[in-house]
């Protein structure tokens, strides 16, 4: 059994050696291709290989590029979507809807309930207009927080918005029924 295996291996190698020599003879006579010597030719880098692959083939359809305006729109849309991902709940359409509800219910009986739900779901908003509306909420702790948030943003606001905020602080410092709100408004006015 062992001899049979060795014999079959010897036969296999002899056949392939014979096939190799025949192939070399064919190549040397020029019938097919010239023999290649891989060591002599210069090897391409992966970068060069990619560039050759990416090169436009003659007769192939050209890739259409978006016009500059459309490309800019697509880029801006992608940026907005990426920012929305990082904002968490505040980047979702539900947040914008809740802000619109807050604005719509301002000055109505539903305002207190809307603000309470909004604060539970999202916390204090970052938008200046929404913060300004929350100054009318009847809980002094929330109003004091809102004043602090607005004071932090006041430096980056326009001059008109800063003047409006200062006027609102003066009114709250004089007329608020809550001592905590009056004290906070006076403190912010002193530092303004």
Blockwise average pLDDT, block size 10, the chain, 192 residues:
60 63 62 56 83 72 74 87 75 86 92 93 91 93 94 93 94 93 93 84
Length of the chain: 192
Host H or E run for residue 126 = none
pLDDT at position 144: 94
Residues 6+ apart with CB under 8 A from 149: 124, 126, 131
């Amino acid at each position: 059994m062992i001899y049979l295996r060795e014999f079959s291996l010897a036969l296999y190698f002899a056949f392939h050696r014979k096939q190799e020599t025949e192939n070399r003879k064919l190549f040397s006579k020029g019938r097919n291709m010239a023999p290649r010597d891989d060591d002599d030719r210069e090897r391409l880098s992966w970068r060069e290989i990619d560039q050759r692959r990416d090169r436009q083939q003659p007769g192939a359809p050209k890739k259409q590029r978006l016009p500059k305006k459309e490309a800019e729109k697509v880029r801006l849309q992608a940026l907005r979507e990426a920012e929305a991902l990082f904002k968490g709940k505040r980047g979702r359409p539900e947040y914008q809807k809740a802000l619109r509800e807050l604005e719509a219910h301002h000055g109505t009986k539903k305002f207190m309930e809307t603000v309470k739900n909004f604060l539970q779901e999202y916390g204090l908003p970052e938008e200046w207009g929404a913060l300004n509306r929350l100054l009318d909420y009847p809980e002094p702790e929330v109003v004091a927080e809102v004043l602090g948030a607005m004071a932090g943003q006041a430096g980056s606001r326009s001059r008109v918005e800063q003047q409006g905020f200062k006027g609102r602080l003066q009114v709250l410092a004089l007329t608020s029924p809550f001592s905590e709100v009056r004290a906070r408004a006076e403190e912010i006015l002193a530092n303004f």
